[in-house]
Every structure is written in structure tokens, then in C-alpha cells.
Amino acid sequence: MATVAKLFETMEYGPAPESDAPALEWIKQHDSGGGGGGRFGHFINGRWAAPAEGQYFETINPATKAVLAKVAQGSKADVDAAVTAAHAAAPGWAALTPHARARYLYALAREVQRHSRLLAVLESLDNGKPIRETRDLDIPLVARHFYHHAGWAQLRDSEFPGYVPVGVVGQIIPWNFPLLMVAWKVAPALAAGNTVILKPAEFTPLTALCFVEIAQAAGLPPGVFNVVTGDGATGKALVEHPGVQKIAFTGSTEVGRIIRKATAGSGKKLTLELGGKSPFIVFDDADLDSVVEGVVDAIWFNQGQVCCAGSRLLVQEGVADRLTQKLRARMEKLRVGSPLDKAVDMGAIVAPVQLERIRGLVEQGVEEGAKMWQPSWACPTEGYFYPPTLFTDVSPAATIAQVEIFGPVLVSMTFRTPKEAVELANNTPYGLAASVWSENINLALDVAPKLKAGVVWINCTNLFDAAAGFGGYRESGFGREGGREGMWEYLKAGWDNRGGEGRGERDAAVAKQVAPPERTSPISPLPPIDRTYKLFIGGKQVRPDQGYSRKIVGSDGRVLGEVAEGNRKDVRNAVEAAHAAEGWGRSSGHLRAQILYFIAENLATRAEEFAARVGREEVDASMARLFTYAAWADKWDGAVHHTPIRGVTLAMNEPVGVLGIAAPDDFPLLGFVSLVAPAVTVGNTVIVVPSEPHPLAATEFYTVLETSDVPDGVINVITGAKDALAKVLAEHDDVDGMWYFGNAAGVKAVELASAANMKRTWATARGRDWLDPGQGEGREFLRRASEVKNIWIPYGE
Ligand code: NAI
């Protein structure tokens, strides 16, 4: 028997189990349609409902393989019933005062806190994660999220004037942070005034079902919050349902891509929070003991099943061996075991399929020649456990260095210089998060903006807070959750709140306002001088690859000029030129403002000539628009978020990168300027396809650009078949974002093509009144042109 003296000698932990009895009792009390308890239906329109097709599936405890409960398998009919309920509830919920909605969110936060012990145990049972994490991290963050969003609900009308809820929102969440993902999705949606259908992950539905009772206790009106459980087929039915106005998804990039394609052209708003292969960069002056604890939190937290896990350890060569030694010593001391044991560091892997995936990838890593190390102790054998694993001697191209393993497996590589560290860090299609470790804050802050990632943690890792937006770059998806950024994802402009939302039909009222067709100068009775315009690439007017051009005919049937017929090769050249000009993104706001003012000035000197083409009103509005964005250029500030750390969390607005823009056909000059100006104001470089029927104002505009000190390659213009060129741009892997203003078929084609590299798209067939500053300019455009990067910087010794 262990004596106190003996324990004192070894300092071994004794077992410290949390009781599972109240959670198991809670499960047993639920009995959808008889059968001895532990059976859950859907939650639709404020009531539990048995599944239409009578199908249930089991959810298990991955630490013991014991069946915990039976849960309804949602069918199309169930999804349909939930969407109907959410629609019925939407007007009433949206009509509440902000304060009334704030009270509901506040009540949800309070109820979460009241039931925090039950929720923590239930989460550990269903997911396998240690109670230490669910109790101290998941559940407190859930409550924090609802409190924070009670605030946004209260402030919605004053902070988001002119904006309205999107409508009915479908939310699909993964199994790694089951209740936290409920909070991240539901809190902003409800705060903004939307109604919700939530589809929890099939491995971990229990806390979402427990949250149903929290919603009931908080008195949420029927239909405002609905839960339909089930697998991918249920998620698919929700994604495809025509009554849903927005889909918010967290999960694998593979499914994210399927959803991008499924919603293409539907007009549904979409946010995707997908996978990652986040770098954890250690410079040789870092405090290595802190680094070791950081690595524990980066990759062994939640068994490494974390989308932003620091799964690629990049170490400066001089300290690599020392760090490996320290890591191995620490790994030897990690404790893997029952998730309900309060002294356990790592629990169970969520399901056998995930365990197999981890095993398979580790085997592949060994086969590909990397050196694998695991601690000497053995994992428990009764559940789905996997030990902490470290790979060294990994080549950057190895499968385990590229693929998201989603398990407790760290791959490490070395670098020599900061430049090489940044290159290695960005050598991934993902861009979710990154950690930078150095005692030299100058170095850390120099590196942070160079990392293509939505979150950068300096000398810390895996910190989250409701006030700071979270989300990725590149194939890690688009949109942000949390903070002000996250609220925008659940709102839309009030002027856009017309019937037939998103079906792509042009609004009749706006269509009437189409600008006059291009005409020749009324001053001269003589036939115009025929002119063939070239393309504008890399600051030069260049002939198109194939040498073809097309005639542009005026309303009176006269040929007004010829424009070059751009093709795929021209797009490639323009993309190259736009990438070469990326230094523009690092130039100062002041400089960008100066250049925009200069463009306006040069346009003003030729106003008459442009007015003869498109009318005076459009030219004047274009000059005003350039002034608007010159004004914004040094004011598009980020924020310092009040997150609960001693330090600062900076939210920086960064350019998306290289943006493709297909300009609207009406307003040939103003439409072009209204899109190009905000894009370049934020620091993007652009490839623009101007109005197809009326391109001459844009081609004439080249000469204005040439005289305005715009650096070569910042603005590139390709004329020709707009939809075909837009598709090429949307397909191009080196184009980071695509804006398309055209017709419904074009919207669909762009959204479909964008799925290849998950580029962010803004594609619409909806007409807008470009002359109205409320519709044609402002923050909406600047937001679309930006990625928000949150940089966490703790301070203090
Ligand atoms: P998943 O992406 O398949 O599942 C996430 C959610 O999407 C679940 O609720 C699922 O039911 C639903 N879903 C699946 N197919 C769908 C479809 N066609 N339409 C709509 N909804 C659908 O992720 P899964 O299979 O659980 O895990 C596979 C891999 O994905 C993991 O090994 C990991 O690498 C990655 N993953 C990444 C997450 C992240 O947060 N980035 C979270 C979960 C998994």
C-alpha cells in the first residue's frame, strides 16, 4: 500500500476521478419514444421531436467504448421541419429590441455557468477530452462567448447601423470542441437577430442536446434555436435546403470544399473554418523551458485534435537538439488516461476511425524516413488512446509535414534564418494560426505580419477569447468567429433586404438605373478615330497573347473602338505581375492615399473626355469615390482587443493578396473605380476585367493610371469575355480572392471554381445603385478587401 512517505518520495499522482454519475443520470432521464432511457430526438420549434424516419445512432465514450446514448438520425424531413420552424420564428425574433435579445443571451450565459459541472463531465464522456480542459477551458469559454455576445446584441443597432440579420442560419460543427463550437456559432447568430438550425457532430452530440435545455431554461422562443442531430447526410440536407440563408461550417477542408461547391450560386452566405497545419516557430533566443510548455499546449492539448494545433515545430538549428531533449523529457512525464481523472494530461481519441487515421499517418511518416519517438510508458488499452509522438528529421515535403494529422503528433524541422523560418512556415496550403517564440520582441513582431495565418501567438499558443476574431487564410477557410468581425458574418446591409434574396435576379428598380450606353463625344460630328486598346499588365499596355481584339459598338451602331481579347495566358501574366507588386501591401496608408488622390486629380483634368463616354454624373461620382478611399487609406485601422491576458491582442487589417475583380456591366467607369479603389486602398494588387459591353472607359483609364504613380502591377486590366475570364481568375491557385459582379450563371461558376484553393469570393448578380454612397462605397468594401489577423502579445517577466 502506498504510504504518504512513499508518495512523497516519488511524487506520483494518485487517481482523482470526477464522478460521472450525474451526467449518466441526466442521459438516462431522456427517453425519446420509449426504450428505457438514454434516447434523444431532435429539438424543433421548442419541442423534442422523434426523427421522421425513426432512425437512431449510438454515441460512445471513447475512453471505455461504452454506449452513452442513442441519438436521432436526421433526415431531409427533419431538416425541413426545423427550417420551417426557424422561418416562422425569424420575424418575431428579428423584431425584438436589441436589449430583449441581449437579455436572452445573458440568460444563456448564466445557465451555462449554472450547469457547468454537468456540461464539463458530459463533454469529457462524449469526446474523451480531459476534465481539466472541459472544466477550465471549454465551458468557461462557452459562458464567456454568450456574455460577450449579449453585449453585441445590446449594441447591434448602434454599432451596426443599417444592417439587418441574414435570416435562417444552418450551422454544422465538428467533434473536437463540441460545446465551444455551439457557442461560437449560436451566440453571434442569435445576437445579430437570426434564427438557427444546429447540426452537431455525430461523435459528440450530447452537450449540444444538453444546451437545448439551457435554451429552454433561458426561455428562448420556440423555433429560434433548433437542433437536428445526424451525420454528414443530415449536414448535406441542411446545406442544400433552399430555406437557409447562411451556412456556417467548422470541420475538415474536404467537407468545406464540398459545401463551397454545393452552395455555389445559391446566394447563401458562407463561412468556413477548416483545417490547419500551423507552424510553431522557435528562434534560438527563446526561453526553451517556456517553449516546452508551449508545445504541450500546442499539440497535446485535446489530444492534438485542434484545428489550430501547433503541429509543425520549426526550430532554429542551434537549439534543435537541446529542445528535442527537453521535449522528450517532458513527454515522458505526460499522463494519458481516463478523461475524468483530474490529474490526467491527455484523454482518449474521439473515435476508432480517427485513431486509425493517426496510426496510418504515423506509419507513413516512418516509412518516408522521419525519426519517430514516443515515451516509454504504455497507454491504457481499454479505450481509444494514442501516445504523444514526436517526429524529427522530417523533410518539408513529407506527408506528415503537409497533411493535417489531427492527433497528438508533432513533426519538427529546422531552419537557419528568420527568412527561412517564414518560408517554411508558409509552405502549406493552410493558414489558420502560428506561434512565434523569441525573447527578441522586434524579431517576433517582424515575423508575425509575414506569416499567412489568421491568428499569430507570440510566446504563447492556443489562446482564444470571444473578443478576438478567429479564422483562417487560404485553405483554412474564410470568415471570422468572435469579436466585431464575427458579427458581420451574421448581418447584411438593410438596403439588400429585398425579396428573392440570393436567387441572382437583378432587382428591377436598380436595373432601370443602368448608366447610359457608351457614346461618342457629342462635340465632334466627325466619325471617331478608330482605336485598338491593349491590355494593361505590369504597368504597361501590352498586346494580348493571341493578338485578337473585339469591336465595341455604340448605341447608334457605330464602332467606337476595339479592345484586346484577353485569354488564360494573359491572366497568368497579370497574376505574375500582381504578385511581383505585393510590396504595395507593405506601403504606408499615407502613400496609398497620395496615389489615389493623384488618380482623382488626373481624372479631373480629363473629366470632359470621360463624361463624353459615360456621362458627367458617373465621372463626378468616380472622383468622389477615389477621394473616399484616399480618405480611408490611413484610417482603416485595426483594433486592440480586450482579451483576458496581461498583454495586447492586436487585430490587424491585412490585404487579402492578389484579387481578381470582374466589374459590373452598368456604370462602366464608376463600377470599375468603386471596386478597384477599396481593393488597392487596403493594399491588394488587382486584376480587373472591366464591363464587357462598355469597356472603353476602363481602357481609357489606363492612361490616367500611367500618369498617377501607381506602381507597376498593382492594377492590371484584362478586357474580353468577362465571364470566361472571371472563371479563369477564380480557378487560378495564385489568386487569393475573387469579386464578381455579373449574372447568376457567372456567380455560380466563380463560386464553384473558387473551391479549388478556397479563395474568398464576393460574387453577386444583385444590381446596386453605384451612385448611392450607401450602396456603392464604404466599410463593406474595405472589409471584403481585408483579412483580419489577430496577434496575441502577452507581456511581463
Ligand atoms: P468532417 O468535416 O467530416 O465533419 C464535420 C461536420 O460536418 C460534422 O458535423 C459532419 O457530420 C458534417 N458533415 C460531414 N459531411 C458533410 C457534408 N457533405 N455536408 C455537410 N455536413 C457534413 O470531419 P470528420 O470526418 O469528423 O473528421 C475528419 C478530419 O477532418 C479529421 O481527421 C480532421 O483532420 C479534420 N477536422 C478538422 C476540424 C477543424 O476544426 N478544423 C474539426 C473536425 C475534423
Ligand 1 atom closest to residue 250's alpha carbon, by position in its atom list: 40
Model pTM?
A: 0.90
pLDDT over threshold 60, residue 752: yes
Which of the pair, 521 or 335, is modelled with greater confidence?
A: 335
Ligand 1, pocket residues at CB < 6 Å: 172-176, 199, 201-202, 231-232, 235-236, 239, 250-252, 255, 258-259, 274-275, 307, 354, 357, 404, 406
Q: In what order do the strands lie in the sheet with 39-40?
A: 39-40, 67-72, 56-60
How many angstroms does the Cα of residue 498 sit away from the middle of ligand 1?
Answer: 34
- Where does residue 287 rank: exposed (0-12), middle (13-18), buried (19+ CB within 10 A)? middle
pLDDT of 567-577, one tens digit each? Answer: 999 999 999 99
User: How far is 254 from 273, CA to CA, in rounded Å?
Assistant: 12
| Residue owning the nearest CA to atom 13 of ligand 1 | 232
Ligand 1 atom closest to residue 432's alpha carbon, by position in its atom list: 41
The number of beta carbons lying within 10 Å of the beta carbon of residue 464 is: 20
Annotation marks residue 332 as catalytic: no
User: How far is 303 from 462, CA to CA, in rounded Å?
Assistant: 13
pLDDT over threshold 80, residue 797: no
pLDDT of 94-123, one tens digit each? Answer: 999 999 999 999 999 999 999 999 999 999
Asked if residue 87 lies in contact with residue 231, where contact means CB atoms within 8 angstroms, the answer is: no
| Residue owning the nearest CA to atom 21 of ligand 1 | 235
| Residue owning the nearest CA to atom 9 of ligand 1 | 201
How many angstroms does the Cα of residue 236 sit away from the middle of ligand 1?
Answer: 12
pLDDT-derived band of residue 531, with 50, 70 and 90 as boundaries? confident
pLDDT over threshold 80, residue 3: no
Ligand 1 atom closest to residue 239's alpha carbon, by position in its atom list: 20
Of 175, 241, 252, 263, which is best to mutate to test ligand 1, by the most ligand atoms within 8 angstroms of its C-beta?
252
Looking at residue 500, what is its pLDDT? Answer: 42
Output the average pLDDT for the chain.
Answer: 93
How many angstroms does the Cα of residue 396 sit away from the middle of ligand 1?
Answer: 26
Quick one: DSSP state of residue 742? S
Asked if residue 533 lies in contact with residue 699, where contact means CB atoms within 8 angstroms, the answer is: yes
Please compute Rg for the chain using Cα positions.
28
Looking at residue 14, what is its pLDDT? Answer: 79
What's phi and psi for 185, nearest 5 deg? Answer: -85, -50
Ligand 1 atom closest to residue 238's alpha carbon, by position in its atom list: 20
How many angstroms does the Cα of residue 226 sit away from the middle of ligand 1?
Answer: 20
Ligand 1 atom closest to residue 254's alpha carbon, by position in its atom list: 2
How many angstroms does the Cα of residue 252 sit away from the middle of ligand 1?
Answer: 5
- Residues 784-790: what's their mean pLDDT? 97
pLDDT-derived band of residue 693, with 50, 70 and 90 as boundaries? very high
- Residues 358-367: what's their mean pLDDT? 98
Looking at residue 300, what is its pLDDT? Answer: 97
Question: CB pairs under 8 A, 24+ apart, for 420-427?
Answer: 421/281, 421/283, 421/314, 421/316, 421/447, 422/447, 422/450, 422/451, 424/279, 424/312, 424/314, 424/396, 425/279, 425/281, 425/312, 425/314, 425/451, 426/450, 426/451, 426/452, 427/396
- Residues 730-740: what's their mean pLDDT? 97
How many angstroms does the Cα of residue 209 sit away from the middle of ligand 1?
Answer: 19
Looking at residue 9, what is its pLDDT? Answer: 77
Q: All 3 cell numbers of residue 630?
A: 484616399
- Residues 71-87: what's their mean pLDDT? 98
Looking at residue 554, what is its pLDDT? Answer: 82
pLDDT of 139-173, one tens digit each? Answer: 999 999 999 999 999 999 999 999 999 999 999 99
pLDDT of 593-605, one tens digit each? Answer: 999 999 999 999 9
pLDDT of 235-273, one tens digit each? Answer: 999 999 999 999 999 999 999 999 999 999 999 999 999
pLDDT over threshold 70, residue 323: yes
Looking at residue 2, what is its pLDDT? Answer: 66
Asked if residue 411 lies in contact with residue 373, where contact means CB atoms within 8 angstroms, the answer is: no
Give the active site residue among 210, 307, 308, 460: 307
Percent of the chain with pLDDT over 70: 95
| Residue owning the nearest CA to atom 14 of ligand 1 | 232
Looking at residue 277, what is its pLDDT? Answer: 97
Looking at residue 508, what is its pLDDT? Answer: 37
Looking at residue 651, what is its pLDDT? Answer: 96
Annotation marks residue 273 as catalytic: yes
How many angstroms does the Cα of residue 175 sit away from the middle of ligand 1?
Answer: 8
Of 76, 176, 255, 403, which is best to mutate to test ligand 1, by the most ligand atoms within 8 angstroms of its C-beta?
255
Looking at residue 175, what is its pLDDT? Answer: 98
Of 172, 240, 272, which is best to mutate to test ligand 1, by the most ligand atoms within 8 angstroms of its C-beta?
172
pLDDT of 634-690, one tens digit each? Answer: 999 999 998 999 999 999 999 999 999 999 999 999 999 999 999 999 999 999 999
pLDDT over threshold 50, residue 12: yes
N- to C-terminal Cα separation, the chain: 43
pLDDT over threshold 80, residue 498: no
How many angstroms does the Cα of residue 194 sit away from the middle of ligand 1?
Answer: 24
Which of the pair, 520 or 707, is modelled with greater confidence?
A: 707
Looking at residue 499, what is its pLDDT? Answer: 46
What's phi and psi for 428, nearest 5 deg? Answer: -160, 150
pLDDT over threshold 80, residue 4: no
Ligand 1 atom closest to residue 406's alpha carbon, by position in its atom list: 34
pLDDT over threshold 70, residue 325: yes
pLDDT of 212-228, one tens digit each? Answer: 999 999 999 999 999 99
pLDDT-derived band of residue 504, with 50, 70 and 90 as boundaries? very low
Asked if residue 627 lies in contact with residue 681, where contact means CB atoms within 8 angstroms, the answer is: no
How many angstroms does the Cα of residue 428 sit away from the middle of ligand 1?
Answer: 20
Give the active site residue among 273, 485, 654, 731: 273
pLDDT-derived band of residue 31, with 50, 70 and 90 as boundaries? confident
**AA identity, residue 398:** A
pLDDT over threshold 70, residue 501: no
**AA identity, residue 606:** R
Q: All 3 cell numbers of residue 508?
A: 428591377
Say which residues have a Cβ less than 8 Å from residue 708's Cβ, sequence separation at least 6. Answer: 595, 598, 599, 601, 602
Looking at residue 34, what is its pLDDT? Answer: 56
Looking at residue 555, what is its pLDDT? Answer: 79
Ligand 1 atom closest to residue 262's alpha carbon, by position in its atom list: 19
